[in-house]
Amino acid sequence: MNKIKVLVVDDHPMVLEGMRSMLAQINFVHICGTVCSAYGAVESIKQLTPDIVITDINMPEISGIELALKIKNEFPDVKVIAMSTFKERSYISQMIQNGASGYLVKSASKEEIEEAILSVYEGKLYMSLDINLSATDKQELDNIPILSSREKEVLLLIADGFTNPQIAAKLFISLHTVDSHRKNLLTKFTVNNTASLIKLAARYNMV
């Protein structure tokens, strides 16, 4: 059996080293390279022709989300596994939409990484969301409200400091409508003013 060629992209040398060390223990995996920025990633893929790219989501300048899109466009056969701390839950769906096949938390064990690589290599999806979360973390995830797209728009504009009339003008809707969305946001987040709303939204990486 040919080894699965894996390229790792992360801006933290420490994580790269960790991945390198962990992947070295998996016999069916060959680490064909590690890259510390999304800039070098595309070039490296061209040269090293990996089967799977494991990439951090949070990177300066070019995020893992954009990188996933680029990879899917230029190298449709290359599978992408996104990696991050559990906190960036809201980014995961974007990552999947951009063609990623898997999601790993950075607290993943060697076994999980192994499973993720195998699953993704076989064309399946792999998600390691529920693992390694503390009880409070899980509860937090469950409490993240589901917003409509319009509500998301309004939320972002609120967070950027726009007043209701300004938001109404921007979205070409009535002031009353903005007010309704705003009320619904407060209800969905079970808070009673803007400060709490934005604090929570920030914690969930929605703003």
Partner DNA sequence: ATCAAAATCCCTTTTTCAGGGGATAATAAA
Partner DNA sequence: TTTATTATCCCCTGAAAAAGGGATTTTGAT
Which spans of this chain sit near its own copies (rule: CB under 8 A)? 11-22, 60-61, 85, 106-110, 134, 136-137, 158-161, 163, 191-199, 202-203, 207
Q: In angstroms, what is the minimal distance from the CB of 130 to DNA?
A: 23
Residue matched to tokens 């080293």: 17
CA angle (190 as vertex; 156, 169 as ends), nearest 5: 30
Q: How far is the CB of 86 from DNA (least distance, A)?
A: 24
Q: How far is the CB of 145 from DNA (least distance, A)?
A: 10
Question: Is residue 163 involved in binding DNA (CB under 7 A)?
Answer: yes
Residue 83 DSSP SS3: strand
Contact 12, 83 (CB under 8 A): no
CB 207 within 8 A of CB 155: yes
Closest CB to DNA among residues 85, 174: 174
Residue at 145: amino acid letter: P
Q: Does 90 bind DNA (CB under 7 A)?
A: no
Contacting range for DNA; rule: CB under 7 A; set: 45-53, 77-85, 119-127, 172-180: 172-180
When the beta carbons of 46 and 110 are compared against its own copies, the nearer one is 110
Beta-bridge partner residues of 105: 84
Closest to DNA by CB, 41 vs 157, is 157
Number of residues that bind DNA (CB under 7 A): 23
CA dihedral (179, 181, 187, 188) in degrees, to 10, reads: -160
Strand, helix or coil for residue 9: strand
Single out the segment in contact with DNA by CB under 7 A; choices: 15-23, 102-110, 133-141, 147-155. Answer: 147-155
Cα–Cα distance measured from residue 120 to residue 184, given in angstroms and rounded to the nearest whole number? 39
Nearer to its own copies, 75 or 164 (CB): 164
CB of residue 142 to DNA, shortest distance in Å: 17
Cα–Cα distances in angstroms (integers) from residue 41 to residues 7, 141, 150, in the given order:
9, 31, 35
Angle between helices 149-159 and 175-188 (to 10 degrees): 90
Q: Is residue 176 a contact residue for DNA (CB under 7 A)?
A: yes
Residue whose CB is less far from its own copies, 12 or 46: 12
**Structural contact between residues 50 and 33, judged by C-beta atoms closer than 8 angstroms:** yes
Query: Which span (58-66, 76-84, 112-120, 164-172) binds DNA, by CB under 7 A?
Result: 164-172
